[in-house]
Amino acid sequence: MMIMKLFLSFLQIGLFSIGGGYAAIPLIQEQTVTVHGWLTADQFMDLATIAEMTPGPIAINGATFVGLKVGGLAGAAAATFGCIFPSLLIVSLLAWVYRKYRELPMLQSVLSALRPAVVALISAAGVNMALQACFGGRALLAPENARWAGIGLFVVALAVLRRFKLNPILVMILCGAGGLLLGVLGLA
């Protein structure tokens, strides 16, 4: 039964996460934390971090991670297949439609209208993740809820990424080392 739940949950995620892995993050959070309770909010943040750090698409890495945690190897296979199955079908169909009708203005209008929705999904995921990392996901952004080490690392990472255009993997490694150092010093 759990294997089927994993498959169907990630089938929904794969079906409706238009825009790629980052757009899937709020859908994965909804299914794994809110609907099924398979993960806590902090475990979801760990999932997002691990899925970002490992090679491959975030949604597939997340599906594999959740499936393995909840249902073992069979759960990982079911969740991963559920996540990729809609893409296999949809991309095949869209490739055929696009090749046949790419010059139609109506198709270009649909594609143009989808772009802002994808940006909104990615932005919502970013805001949710920032609130979780910096304030523990609490709605009240009060100083007593603040995770100052997380806020500091967020600000420094954002500044370094924007100003110096460093490799994001290097910034993640440096933030991990900074978090370890802050933890050892008792500041995190």
What's the Cα-to-Cα distance from 109 to each of 10, 97, 100, 120, rounded to whole Å?
29, 15, 16, 18
What is the Cα–Cα distance from 5 to 21, expressed in whole angstroms?
21
pTM of the model: 0.60
Inter-residue contact 39 to 132 (CB < 8 Å): no
pLDDT tens, position by position, 27-67: 999 999 999 999 999 999 998 888 888 888 889 999 999 99
- Residues 61-112: tens digit of each pLDDT: 999 999 999 999 999 999 999 999 998 998 899 899 889 988 888 888 988 8
